Amino acid sequence: MTARPQRARPGSPELQALVDELAERLGRSVAVDDPLVRMICTSRHFGDEDPVRIGTLLQGRADNSTVRYVLAQGVAQWPKPGFIEGRDDLGLLPRYVVPLRERGYLLGLLMVVAPEKSLAEQETEAIARAAEAMAAQMYAEHLAADTQKTDERTLVSELIDTNVATSAAARRRAMESGLLGDAEHVLVTVVQLCRGTEPMGQAETALWGTLEGFRQTRTAHGFIAIDQERAILLQLSDRASGPAEVAAQSARILEELTTFLDPSAAPVIGVGGRHLGLHNAWRSYEQSLVAVRAARRLPSLKSMGDWDLLREFAVLLQLPEHALNESLVPKPLRTLNEAGGGDRLRDTLRCFLEHAGSIPRTAEALKLHRSSLYYRLRQIQEITGLDLDDGAHRLTLHLGLRIEELLTTGDDLGA
């Protein structure tokens, strides 16, 4: 399931006319981008084009480095227009940027190429008048698009509903309206953000702009539901997606989000199990929520949790959030942690358990002589009071170690 970086949806003829009119009046290149710095409309060149503008015309959006640079200037939060500096290394000339807002909602960015980084008073006045008209036009278009997004969000929420009647009615309605094809396999992915510092709607815009490319891929057809800092991507395909394919998609989503959002957003992804039949969408969704918790709590996952790869963590992470605390760590393991040489002995115990109690493999992994390994294992048994030849005792210690892993990270989002 691969997708190219998405360009913004083309602007309406009305918006294009406003852009062209302003450009002709100024004799400067003008463009309107969405809040993610993806091109919506652009004028013809006036001899002031730069590599960024040319590349954007070809690709539909600037490269990630340029997008990061522009957003890092805080343009999405600017209360009034201003200039952004050019960057020779990016091939970017200075621009006069006007945030296009209506009723507090950032709709886009009006950009006027200004190599000299100055404008005459009559130019700024003309830009201000045009910006007001553009914002009004874009808000009307935003309301129409928002209705479609709301309908899609409602459909997804009903398809993943645990109520059989609700989900069945949603499937029937989607089938009758031609939204569903013959694909048999369902996969639900959840993207969760921390509450960041972006202006109203920026996080939602970033989530939508990132995930939109995965609604229609070579192998899958999808639906999106976004609610503030959380997004749900429901995909249908002719075959079940393998771990490598899912990991590549998740990595691509994270890369795009880190381009559009401040690092404080700290996005994580949870991928549910692969199931046959849309009637199992609710199951994949519930599993994706567990995978989100894993992605947040286990640094080794690099912000990407996949239910099919979680193993015992898939069980432990279904415990209520309030129950997932230090009290779950078995007393024998706590005693070992408090003993002298506890770290060394705990690492030995973990290696021993993860090699299924095999002395040769454990000794090899630790690069330790077998006699030294036996000595450490005897110490562990003496301190914990447990018998490492007893399967139940080994299970107690192994689960304790796994619980400790879950407790090493800070706040969880309660996904």
Provide the pLDDT confidence category of residue 415 given band limits of 50, 70 and 90. very low
Instruction: Give the C-alpha separation, 158 to 226, whole Å.
Output: 14
User: Is residue 398 situated within a structural domain?
Assistant: yes
Is position 367 within any domain? yes
pTM > 0.95: no
My answer on whether 333 and 273 are in the same domain is no
Between 413 and 255, where is the model more confident?
Answer: 255
CA-CA distance, 62 to 5, in Å (whole number)? 10
pLDDT per residue as tens digits for the range 33-69: 999 999 999 999 999 999 999 998 888 778 899 999 9
pLDDT at 81 over 80: yes
| pLDDT tens profile 183-194 | 689 999 999 998
d(CA 40, CA 50): 18
pLDDT at 414: 41
In terms of domains, do 239 and 120 share one? no
Confidence of residue 138 (pLDDT cuts 50, 70, 90): very high
Average pLDDT, the chain: 90
Domain limits for position 127:
13-145
Residue 6 pLDDT exceeds 70: no
Q: Which of 259, 283, 317 is the last residue of a domain?
A: 317
Q: Are residues 207 and 306 in the same domain?
A: yes
Share of the chain above pLDDT 70, in %: 94
Residues 397 and 310 in one domain: no
Asked whether the predicted pLDDT for residue 411 surpasses 50, the reply is no
If asked whether residues 289 and 340 sit together in one domain, one would say no
* Residues 326 and 313 grouped into a single domain: no
Does residue 201 contact residue 105 with C-beta atoms inside 8 Å?
yes
Q: Which of these three, 317, 341, 376, is where a domain ends?
A: 317
d(CA 347, CA 334): 14
Same domain, 240 and 326: no
Please list, residue by residue across 162-172, b when 16 or more beta carbons sit within 10 angstroms of its beta carbon and e when fewer do. Answer: eeeeebeebbe
Structure tokens at 25: 């009046």
- Tell whether 334 and 242 lie within a shared domain: no
pLDDT beyond 90 at 387: yes
Per-residue confidence (pLDDT) for residue 412, from 0 to 100 = 44
87 Cβ contact list (under 8 Å, min separation 6): 66, 69
Q: Say whether both 106 and 193 belong to one domain.
A: no
pLDDT-derived band of residue 1, with 50, 70 and 90 as boundaries?
low
- The pLDDT tens digits for 202-235 are 888 889 989 988 888 887 889 999 987 899 999 9
CB 203 within 8 A of CB 265: yes
Indicate whether 27 and 140 sit together in one domain: yes
Looking up residue 222, the CATH number of its domain turns out to be 3.30.70.270
413 pLDDT tier (thresholds 50, 70, 90):
very low
Examine the fold and report which residue of 300, 317, 334 is the final residue of a domain before the chain moves on: 317
Residue 221 lies in a domain: yes
Give the domain CATH number at 79.
3.30.450.40
Same domain flag for 343 and 328: yes
